[in-house]
Homo-oligomer: A and B are copies of this chain.
């Protein structure tokens, strides 16, 4: 019977602390403000935006939405970013990604356009360079891997000298999670689709962070007692009971029923990392607002 690492507990605790910091900013006449740039109406973007708005309201962060059609041209997106870069009342900017397919080739140019001071989801080259170099002078790490670290911190799980396995090598989750774990003195192994014996490597780990977006990837033969498992993925599982007598629900990479009885601690999906991500986004907005105009 594993300890369940509930994202809601982490997010609630963080929300309380952030609300105090937001109040302190408001007392100085600063309203911490996040701008969202969304192209089209992708359901997962809408769901994330809904979560962001609820979390922001609890904390006292103002959210402004800038909505473009899914067919928007590159120039329109760049103009929106330029306007928000120039607007001193906006402290953080979140651009929903992935961008529509016709902008895929322009993604580097678009993400590089944002002022790194306002890059609260770690998408600019400077933010990436900071995560890679192990410093956070100006940029922020992407919110999802940062949420994994918040979760580990909240539950007092020390990574120093531990063997951590990260499954997935994306620039949004896997690679930055690996860098953040290295900063915490973990010995980090990055696995992916070409990894030869994933089960054996996972069994050797103290901590597994999985972000493969593959249902039932981690089964009982991947784990052993005492391990901590952080499941970052959220995938629709047509076979999972929905709690109302029917089937179809979100699940992660872990075969939860098989793995949970074996390991020491595990995040549920949903209710794990995802629940912390919006709180981490707010933390970045508030930090950006606190830094104010002091940083060049």
By a beta-carbon cutoff of 8 Å, the part of chain A in contact with chain B is 108, 125-126, 128-134, 137, 160-163, 169, 171, 175, 178-179, 182, 185, 187-192, 194-196, 201
Complex CA gap A108/B182 in Å reads: 21
Q: Which residues of the other chain, B, contact A160 by a CB distance below 8 angstroms?
A: 194
The answer on a CB contact under 8 Å between B191 and A196 is no
Rounded to whole Å, the gap between the CB of A50 and the closest CB of chain B is: 30
Q: Which residues of the other chain, B, contact A131 by a CB distance below 8 angstroms?
A: 132
In the complex, the count of this chain's copies comes to 2
- Apart from A128-B133, A132-B171, 20 more pairs, CB < 8 Å: A125-B125, A125-B126, A125-B130, A129-B132, A132-B132, A132-B175, A134-B171, A161-B194, A161-B195, A163-B196, A175-B179, A178-B190, A182-B190, A185-B194, A187-B189, A187-B191, A187-B192, A187-B195, A189-B189, A189-B190
Known: A194-B187, A196-B161, A201-B187. A132 touches B128 (CB 8 A): yes
Q: Which residues of the other chain, B, contact A163 by a CB distance below 8 angstroms?
A: 196, 201
